[in-house]
Amino acid sequence: MKIKRFLSALLILPLLLGLSACVESPSEKPAEEPVSADNAQAGEEPQTDENYETGDASLDDPRNGDDIGEDELLVVSFGTSYNDNRRLSIGAIEAALAEAFPDWSVRRAFTSQIIIDHVKSRDGEVIDNVGEALQRAVDNGVKRLVVQPTHLMHGYEYTDLVKELDKYAASFETVSVGEPLLSSDADFAAVAGAVMEDNAEFDDERTAVCLMGHGTSADSNGVYEKMQGVLREKGFDRCFVGTVEATPTLEDVLAAVKAGGLERVVLQPLMIVAGDHANNDMAGDEEGSWKRAFEDAGFETVCRLRGMGEMEDVQALFVEHARAAMDALAAPETTDDEGEEAPETLAAVDGSKVADGEYDISVDSSSSMFKVVSCRLTVQDGQMRAVLTLSGTGYSHLFLGTAEKAEAAPEEETIPFVEDESGAYTFELPVPALNTPVSVAAFSKKKQIWYDRELVFRADSLPEGALTEDAVIGQSLKLPDGEYQVQVELSGGSGKAGVESPALMTVKGGEPTLLLVWSSPNYDYMKLEGVRYDPVNEGGNSAFEIPVPAFDCELPIVADTVAMSKPHEVEYVLKVSSAGLPRP
């Protein structure tokens, strides 16, 4: 798959070298605005008495028009009030996506209401928030929706976006969400190469390139240390990564530069947009800024107010991620409300095999439009009941049975939602057995239609000791050494890849190993539980020997394909069946 490159001379900012030279776009001045371009804090109010110029807002396209059509690509960004940088970074990413997918209507949404209100009051530019953009899509009759965030990582912003989208999922026929910028090893390698190529003219023995990220209290903050490691692996020994609000800190970066015996420092944001943090925390003259700290330490300092969204290779990565999200729309699990396949199940476990008590349990759904985010299972005297919490509020009633029967049933036989303290919709229903499909009809509030769904309550998600001794599930198998033929199932990706089934499984010392043969010769490695495995064959379709940590449950795996213009990691789900294997 060829990824287009997007060249624009407007994206190249001039660099003026010299002692303590901080370079800015002609309209970019250090700002006093308290709004962060990456992580605005609750309660912040934008200033209205600005004494600096951020550029001409009229040159920016807010992409908030109607007449969308049936296919929409919604590009979601945190946002920035710096008009020129908004156009040159976020706007450039949106333009790249519009060029790559001319049959899709590209629209914009920002997650920061503070920035939206500030830009509207200062410049008169109207930008949709996520809820407004989604409602616009609903009102325009959009059927296929792809949402591509411009976030750096799977952090709080990305999680909040997915939660907001869940509220509207039932309003569209198909919905798919693209990955943030740094989502795979290939992404890290590509971004590292793009940033260093962008700073190629500073590649000399006396100069350090210091990249300033935002930082987060979430576990995803580890992306900064990982990026540092990738830069080292690629030979960029004079490139250092730090953050404004987490680790590595400015002090960590300063110490590393000093230890390297370097003389000059180039500062550049490791952020999509060169906004408030870049202008103030990095390039500001005030005490505590990165520029001031390096100047005070005696370093010649060059500041580059250039967000990563201005780099063509970064734009191309977002195109790849959006393309993968579009490909996912064609996969069976995300195609249409009707005709979706139910997940494979384990052997049935009835209530007599589960100890009395209350348990948090996982639930598989046959539809991506009917997502169960949590389930509380209560077992008493062999009877089981569950309280389901759905991801959105698009369904008002459930019915145990088919949609056809639900249409004819009196309302008192249906199960209405109960809103919990957080506003989520919950439903309580009996569970006849675990590991077996339960037919449920769901009533869409918007479309006023019953839809057929199937739920599987997973016995393998119960805590240890919850199952009685005669309840045997895949994870409890103790297999004798030898060779076995097992059924394997692959899902995920674009839906085009497959694996040979049955597959050869070898058990040695009680440890099962699977020979997994793909339907293509284009996979150069795969990962299971974070461990990399290389092919065991030369020629023919790619084959890997991997351990089998569990049977009859979903095992997330990653496979790297070289079939595209550049290597690309793709996420899949593998399931190894225990059917036909000896029981203890």
- Of 272, 276, 281, give the one whose Cα is nearest residue 249: 281
d(CA 23, CA 279): 10
Is the bond preceding residue 248 a cis peptide, omega within 30 degrees?
yes
Residue 237 burial by Cβ neighbours in a 10 Å radius (0-12, 13-18, 19+): exposed
**Please, are residues 313 and 190 in contact by the beta-carbon 8 Å criterion?**
yes
**Distances 377 to 77, 349, 419 between C-alpha atoms, Å:** 38, 14, 18
Query: How open is the CA angle 217-155-563, to the nearest 5 degrees?
Result: 140
Backbone angles phi, psi at 253, to 5 degrees: -65, -45
d(CA 377, CA 358): 6
d(CA 365, CA 555): 16
CA 556 to chain centre: 15
Helix (H), strand (E) at residue 326: helix 312-329
The encoded tokens of residue 275 equal 């906004």
The encoded tokens of residue 404 equal 């056809």
Neighbours of 285 (CB within 10 A): 12
| 118, 151, 154, 214: the active-site residue | 214
214 is catalytic: yes
- Of 113, 171, 166, 167, give the one whose Cα is nearest residue 140: 171
Secondary structure (DSSP) of 505-530: EEEETTEEEEEEEBS-S-EEEEEETT
The encoded tokens of residue 335 equal 């195609």
d(CA 351, CA 89): 56
**Please, are residues 178 and 403 in contact by the beta-carbon 8 Å criterion?**
no
d(CA 333, CA 370): 11
Helix (H), strand (E) at residue 131: helix 130-139
**Please, are residues 76 and 159 in contact by the beta-carbon 8 Å criterion?**
no
CA 60 to chain centre: 27
Query: How open is the CA angle 225-87-150, to the nearest 5 degrees?
Result: 35
d(CA 346, CA 487): 13
Q: Which residues are catalytic?
A: 214
